[in-house]
Amino acid sequence: MFKTRTVLLTALLVIFSLSAVDLMAQGNGKGKQNSNSPFLITGKMPHLTKLLMKQWDNPELHLSDEQKNKLLVVRKETIENAQRLGKEITPLEKQVAEATLSGEEPDSLQPLVQSIAKLKTEATMVHLRCIYNTQKILNQQQLDFLNSN
Q: What is the mean pLDDT of residues 131-142?
A: 97
Classify residue 36: in a domain, yes or no.
no
Classify residue 100: in a domain, yes or no.
yes
Helix (H, G, I), strand (E, B) or coil at 77: helix
Please count the structural domains in the chain: 2
Whether residue 109 contacts residue 75, with contact meaning beta carbons closer than 8 Å, is answered with no
| Residue 35 clears pLDDT 70, i.e. is over it | no
| Residue 10 clears pLDDT 90, i.e. is over it | no
Q: Nearest CA to 109 among 98, 120, 118?
A: 98
Q: Where is pLDDT greater, at 84 or 34? A: 84
- Give the phi and the psi of residue 144 in degrees, each rounded to 5: -60, -40
**Are 68 and 128 contained in the same domain?**
yes
Length of the chain: 149
**Are 67 and 120 contained in the same domain?**
yes
pTM: predicted TM-score of the whole model, two decimal places: 0.72
Cβ-Cβ contacts under 8 Å for 40 (sequence gap 6 or more):
117, 120, 121, 123, 124
Q: Tell me the average pLDDT of the chain.
A: 83
Q: Provide the residue range defining the domain that includes 6.
A: 1-31
Model confidence band, residue 46 (pLDDT cutoffs 50, 70, 90): confident
**Are 45 and 14 contained in the same domain?**
no
Model confidence band, residue 40 (pLDDT cutoffs 50, 70, 90): confident
